[in-house]
Amino acid sequence: MCYVDEILQELRRQNPAQPEFLQAAQEVLESIRPVVARNEAAYRRDALLERLTTPERCILFRVPWVDDRGQVHVNHGYRVQYNSAIGPYKGGLRFHPSVNLSVMKFLAFEQVFKNSLTGLPLGGGKGGADFDPKGKSDREIMAFCQSFMTELARHVGKNTDVPAGDIGVGAREIGYLFGQYKRLRNSFEGVLTGKGLPFGGSKARTQATGYGLLYLTQEMLRRNGQEIAGKTVAVSGAGNVAIYAIEKAWQMGAKPVTCSDSTGWIYDSQGIDTELLRQIKEDRRERLTAYAAARPGAQYRQGRGVWTVPCQVALPCATQNELELSDAQALVAGGCIAVAEGANMPTTLEATRYLQQSGVLFCPGKAANAGGVAASGLEMSQNSQRLSWSFEKVDTKLQSIMADIFRSIEEAAREYGMEGDYVAGANIAGFLKVAEAMTAQGIV
Ligand code: NDP
């Protein structure tokens, strides 16, 4: 049996109840087969793939907190510190009821390769809790964040592990987490990114994942003789990534016509009103029914359905496995020519295969949504220098990072005989740098 198959078999045996982690590991390991084949003896001797697929550290902890009525609740907190070969662990915190060890490990594993692709010195990690921020008061959110950080603080630090936001963790939560860290450590340092602008945050960090997604989509389309301008775009999600993807799509001359949340979705034939959506989701924290009520002509439907809308470009920006095989078939039937993942692993393996086989340009999340962590890396640089760069400076760097990422994944795919397969290109390019660093640092 070849080395990759042995590792896949072993991972299934060791992690039988971790489907998301196994899915992410399988996608990466399948892609790097040609690289492993060229170096099999050395990689086997050093147990490189065993070390790559085993997190350096998984921290699990209790998060007790008191609600506004005096009732005590207990949630499960996690931080997976996956790989620090090329820099301090870096990756977001997710607060969502679906969080468990499998989800944390899949996200941290993906983050290792994503961070490598950015070209910045960032290792990979991820964390969070099975806490549901929906319906909680500000005081309850603060109580939860303070309790969460009271435990997390002993495991993170500006040179060790620098978390950021993810689903359910935005500017408000990062502020509370930062305040508690500072209080516990008596140290004002860049231990988190996505901070507010008055206390060390970077301009353009809020926009970076969504903007970066569009910069990369534009690169991919141009390299294939197309332009984003004039295209109809279907977007899922209505959070940080989706809102700024929609904003940048408009700025580039495209027309985004959909968005969604966990209860329903919007089709707006006039194109999504970005400012209305931003107010509803960021300021008022309301459901998408409020969008339909405020916008004549927009249609709200319950459940799933974004991918049934005919479009040329699809940008899944909500959560993992939200784009299934039947959705991919609907997209192809509706004339879609490109899919770029704003969320992490939103497309199932079967749907990805179908899209690629149908000739749809497909860019995986670890490349397409790397703009967020790239801007976080730039926030760390500014914190270290005690400087604050202009929006334009960060945005310009972001554009060049996304263009470099696309070039590197395109070249890696070509070098290994899989031209146009950007999934393989991203996994190979991300892996090569991490593998080289791990090899150079010895058996650790
Ligand atoms: P937000 O919490 O801001 O928004 C998430 C959006 O997705 C919300 O509209 C939410 O709806 C919807 N959603 C969440 N879970 C589900 C579900 N199970 N079914 C349907 N819809 C769901 O998160 P972000 O925008 O920050 O993150 C979105 C994705 O992008 C995630 O996969 C994240 O890992 C990824 N990502 C984020 C980065 C960032 O910088 N923020 C960077 C790179 C990747 P509702 O409000 O109803 O829950």
pLDDT digits (tens, 9 = 90+) for 422-443: 999 999 999 999 999 999 999 9
303 and 357 both lie in a single domain? yes
Q: Which of 106, 113, 141, 240 to mutate to test the pocket of ligand 1 (most atoms within 8 A of CB)?
A: 240
CA of 241 to the centre of ligand 1 (A): 7
**pLDDT value of residue 252:** 98
* CB-CB contact of 128 with 136 (8 Å): no
**pLDDT value of residue 24:** 98
Confirm whether 303 is domain-assigned: yes
The neighbour count for residue 137, using CB atoms within 10 Å, is 10
**pLDDT value of residue 264:** 97
Ligand 1 atom with the smallest distance to the CA of 263 is 47
**pLDDT value of residue 290:** 97
Ligand 1 atom with the smallest distance to the CA of 372 is 40
List, in sequence order, the alpha helices (H) in 153-235. 171-185, 205-223
CA of 259 to the centre of ligand 1 (A): 12
**pLDDT value of residue 421:** 98
Confirm whether 213 is domain-assigned: yes
156 and 230 both lie in a single domain? no
**pLDDT value of residue 245:** 98
CA of 169 to the centre of ligand 1 (A): 10
Give dist(CA 18, CA 12) in Å, integer. Answer: 9
Per the document, the length of the chain is 444
CA of 134 to the centre of ligand 1 (A): 13
**pLDDT value of residue 62:** 98
Task: Tell me what the pLDDT averaged over the chain comes to.
Answer: 98
126 and 239 both lie in a single domain? no
Q: Which of 261, 266, 324, 402 to mutate to test the pocket of ligand 1 (most atoms within 8 A of CB)?
A: 261
**pLDDT value of residue 273:** 98
Confirm whether 328 is domain-assigned: yes
Task: Give catalytic status of residue 126 as yes or no.
Answer: yes
**pLDDT value of residue 164:** 98
Burial status of residue 30 (CB atoms within 10 A of its CB: 0-12, 13-18, 19 or more): middle
Mean pLDDT of the 157-176 span: 97
171 and 250 both lie in a single domain? no
**pLDDT value of residue 222:** 98
**pLDDT value of residue 416:** 96
Mean pLDDT of the 205-226 span: 98
Give dist(CA 421, CA 413) in Å, integer. Answer: 6
Confirm whether 141 is domain-assigned: yes
Q: CATH number of the domain that 115 lies in?
A: 3.40.50.10860
Using pLDDT thresholds of 50, 70 and 90, give the confidence band for residue 198. Answer: very high
pLDDT tens, residue by residue, 90-103: 999 999 999 999 99
pLDDT tens, residue by residue, 305-350: 999 999 999 999 999 999 999 999 999 999 999 999 999 999 999 9
* Tokens of residue 399, six digits: 């554009």
Catalytic residue among 90, 105, 114, 126: 126
**pLDDT value of residue 329:** 98
Ligand 1 atom with the smallest distance to the CA of 114 is 43
Choose one of 321, 349, 368: the last residue of a domain: 368
Q: Whose CA is nearest to atom 40 of ligand 1?
A: 372
353 and 220 both lie in a single domain? yes
Q: Is 138 helix (H, G, I), strand (E, B) or coil?
A: helix
Using pLDDT thresholds of 50, 70 and 90, give the confidence band for residue 129. Answer: very high
Confirm whether 419 is domain-assigned: no
Q: Whose CA is nearest to atom 4 of ligand 1?
A: 239
List, in sequence order, the alpha helices (H) in 32-135. 33-45, 48-53, 101-117
At 126, phi and psi to the nearest 5? -160, 155
Using pLDDT thresholds of 50, 70 and 90, give the confidence band for residue 52. Answer: very high
Mean pLDDT of the 143-163 span: 98
* Tokens of residue 1, six digits: 């049996």
152 and 225 both lie in a single domain? no
270 and 332 both lie in a single domain? yes
Confirm whether 254 is domain-assigned: yes
Q: Which of 241, 300, 369 to mutate to test the pocket of ligand 1 (most atoms within 8 A of CB)?
A: 241
Ligand 1 atom with the smallest distance to the CA of 376 is 40
> In which domain, by residue range, is 323 found?
206-368
User: How many distinct structural domains can be found in the chain?
Assistant: 2
Q: Whose CA is nearest to atom 10 of ligand 1?
A: 261
238 and 364 both lie in a single domain? yes
Confirm whether 389 is domain-assigned: no
Using pLDDT thresholds of 50, 70 and 90, give the confidence band for residue 77. Answer: very high
Using pLDDT thresholds of 50, 70 and 90, give the confidence band for residue 286. Answer: very high
pLDDT tens, residue by residue, 37-49: 999 999 999 999 9
301 and 339 both lie in a single domain? yes
Confirm whether 364 is domain-assigned: yes
Q: Whose CA is nearest to atom 23 of ligand 1?
A: 167
**pLDDT value of residue 54:** 98
* Pocket around ligand 1 at a 6 A CB cut-off: 165-168, 209, 237-242, 261-263, 317-319, 342-344, 369, 372
175 and 228 both lie in a single domain? no
**pLDDT value of residue 418:** 96
**pLDDT value of residue 179:** 98
Q: CATH number of the domain that 354 lies in?
A: 3.40.50.720
Choose one of 309, 336, 368: the last residue of a domain: 368
299 and 175 both lie in a single domain? no
Mean pLDDT of the 140-146 span: 98
**pLDDT value of residue 7:** 98
326 and 249 both lie in a single domain? yes
Choose one of 368, 393, 419: the last residue of a domain: 368
Ranges assigned E (strand) in 180-293: 232-236, 255-256, 258-260, 264-267
